[in-house]
A and B are shown apart, each in its own frame.
Chain A
Amino acid sequence: MIYREAGRFKTSYASDQAIFPIVQDRVFVRAAVVAAFVVPPLVAGDYWLQAILIPFLIYALAAIGLNLLTGYAGQLSLGTGGFMAVGAYSAFKLTTAFPRLSIIAVFLLSGLAAAAIGLLFGIPSLRIKGFYLAVATLAAQFFLIWLFNKVAWFTNYASSGTITAPDRTVLGVTVTGPNATAAARYVMALAFVTVFALVAKNLVRGRIGRSWMAIRDRDIAAEIIGVRPLRTKLLAFGISSFYCGVAGAELVFLYLGSAETLAFDINQSFLVLFMVIIGGLGSVLGSFLGAAFIILLPIFLTRLPHSLGLIMSVALQKQIELMIFGGLILFFLIVEPHGLARLWQIGKEKLRLWPFPH
């Protein structure tokens, strides 16, 4: 209904292969990105930035990472929390060992560290598939968490076993540590997720994305076409872990401020996986939608009884939250197993074809 596509013909492959080939989409996305950089820092309160927007952006990044691996390359992973931990601990070690290193470089290097570990744990994917692989990635999850817990070197021998984000600046603005404003951390997180969402889009629409999807859809046919499975899967593991690593570093440096290994336990892996599934497998947009859903749902559930005027014990509320959370997940899977991105897609198609149904 809103879309007006008649007369917008493509005269080059470049415009036909653009990320957003439809003008309205392009305009909307650009405006949305600009608005995201400008509006919330000016308008949103600290609670919104700190409790909702910053974690949303960080988890969106992690979800994109997992989506590349699971949604595009078809390799189910439950080790996300572990890879995020690698990023977080690498960032901590790097900032303390090289205090003058730019925080941006620290994040990127942490991502690389996570990528290296991801590659290592991706090796079994050559031999095993599906749930066997998923279970194998749990090994990464448990082993890595155990490692960071046990080896005091990772926490610089802190007696509390926690890692803490020091103050670091970008262009003279403090973006991490206790003195950074929520707005600065928000912009930092947004900048990262914007760039890496774009990178993800670029990867999946090109050579690499196609080889991932080929492996996902028909691994044998892909091999016979010339896709080398190990190389392709490992690349997916590496890139995915890079994203998760950066997200892990951000989680500590931009959101929590300090953390123990508990912040990266198996539940974290499930949380990100939920985001990917609820958002939509094989969709970058879906990663954002899924992250928003999973971040907002508990907040909503926590506030619901209060706003309804119900008073209940903390334990009871927690239990009810769990039930509703689980129930809603089931509900969503049943209503739209392909996730929010598919709903979005269907809605968009409807608008494009309106008044025709298809």
Chain B
Amino acid sequence: MSHPAPAGPVLEVDGVSVRFGALIAVNQVSLSVGRGQIVAIIGPNGAGKTTLLNAVSGFYHPYEGRIAFEGKDRTRLQPPDVAALGIARTFQNVALFKGMSVLDNIMTGRLLKMRGSFLLEALYWGPAKRQELEHRAFVERIIDFLEIQAIRKTPAGRLPYGLQKRVELARALAAEPKLLLLDEPMAGMNVEEKEDMCRFILDVNHEFGTTIALIEHDMGVVMDICDRVVVLDYGRKIADGPPAEVRKDQAVLDAYLGVAHE
């Protein structure tokens, strides 16, 4: 699915800070995500996890620091350009296109792979039609992969929450990303749905070799599926390492105990 890519980390975040007015949401955070890894970003609420992801997506721009993807600086890129590099993501509060069917939602994930030829598209003829059908075929593979055949024609807005999350993952996968950012992929799910989602994440990682960075609160999940864990607290990175080590880290324990009693 992907070409042989340069060695070295896929994503490097170097001393990045993001601020809103006086609030410094992310404070000089550095981290790197190696090729094929699954890295979790954890931390108490308000630790700046989503903001960091937003900065990687190009939605916010850091006021200092640098973000590099596959060795190239991309700190200042706009979201569509970031997507074009091969970074896809899901959102904390599912951001599906509610007026469209599941199938069309996933098809939007292919937009970057489609080439425009306006007149042919207006006539739905020749290459334009072929392109549509080819991408449909690709999307069907993802539908199959995520086992959502039964709902492909259902309007996304009508799905239960757990399935919406799965469709959102499908949409992100449709872009064939090199780096997949998942913002709380398992929030609000029951145990069974969580297990499914874990399996899907691992399968994506194994099958396509996709590098994954995810934000997750469920420590069990994090310990199970992640190669590395980065811990944020109040916008700062306080730990970074294999799950087993991070778990014992005193700073992490303090941060979590602090919020546990809130």
Contact = CB atoms under 8 A, between A and B. Distances in A.
Interface of A: 12-14, 16-17, 199, 202-203, 205-208, 210-211, 213-214, 216-218, 220-228, 235, 282
B123 A214 contact: no
A243 to B, nearest CB: 12
B90 to A, nearest CB: 9
B83 A224 contact: yes
Contacts of A218: 95-98
Contacts of B59: 220, 223-224
B108 A222 contact: yes
Nearest to A199: B122
Nearest to A217: B97
A211 B136 contact: no
A340 B89 CA distance: 37
Interface residues on B, range: 35 or more
Contacts of B137: 13
A207 B114 contact: yes
B79 interface: yes
B172 to A, nearest CB: 8
Contact of A224 (B79, B118, B132): B79
A98 to B, nearest CB: 23
Nearest to B107: A210
B136 to A, nearest CB: 5
Interface in B85-128: 88-89, 91, 95-100, 104, 107-109, 111-112, 114, 116, 118, 121-124, 128
A328 to B, nearest CB: 26
A226 B111 contact: yes
B136 A225 contact: no
B133 interface: yes
Contacts of B136: 13, 16-17
Contact of B83 (A14, A226, A235): A226
B211 interface: no
A13 B91 CA distance: 30
Given A17-B133, A207-B114, A213 B97 contact: yes
B89 A206 contact: no
B124 A202 contact: yes
Contacts of B114: 207
Contacts of B128: 206
- In the complex, which of the residues A206, A208, A211, A223 has the most CB atoms of chain B within 10 Å of its own CB atom? A206
Nearest to A229: B80
Nearest to A202: B124
A225 B123 contact: no
Contacts of A216: 97, 99
- Which secondary structure dominates where chain A touches chain B? helix
Contact of B133 (A14, A210, A222): A14
B10 interface: no
B91 A227 contact: no
Contacts of B95: 218, 220-221
Given A217-B97, A223-B80, A225-B171, A208 B118 contact: yes
A235 B118 CA distance: 10
Given A14-B129, A218-B95, A226-B80, A202 B121 contact: yes
Contacts of A13: 132-133, 136-137, 140
Contacts of B229: none
B114 to A, nearest CB: 5
Contacts of A221: 91, 95-97
B100 A210 contact: yes
Contacts of A210: 100, 104, 107-108, 111
Contacts of B97: 213-214, 216-218, 221-222
A208 B100 contact: no
B108 A211 contact: yes
A217 B99 contact: yes
7 contacts: A13-B137, A206-B121, A207-B131, A216-B97, A226-B79, A226-B80, A227-B80
A217 B175 contact: no
B133 A202 contact: no
A211 B124 CA distance: 16
Given A213-B97, A217-B100, A218-B95, A226 B132 contact: no
A227 B111 CA distance: 7
Given A14-B129, A202-B124, A207-B121, 10 more contacts: A16-B136, A206-B121, A206-B128, A213-B100, A217-B100, A222-B97, A224-B82, A224-B83, A225-B88, A225-B111
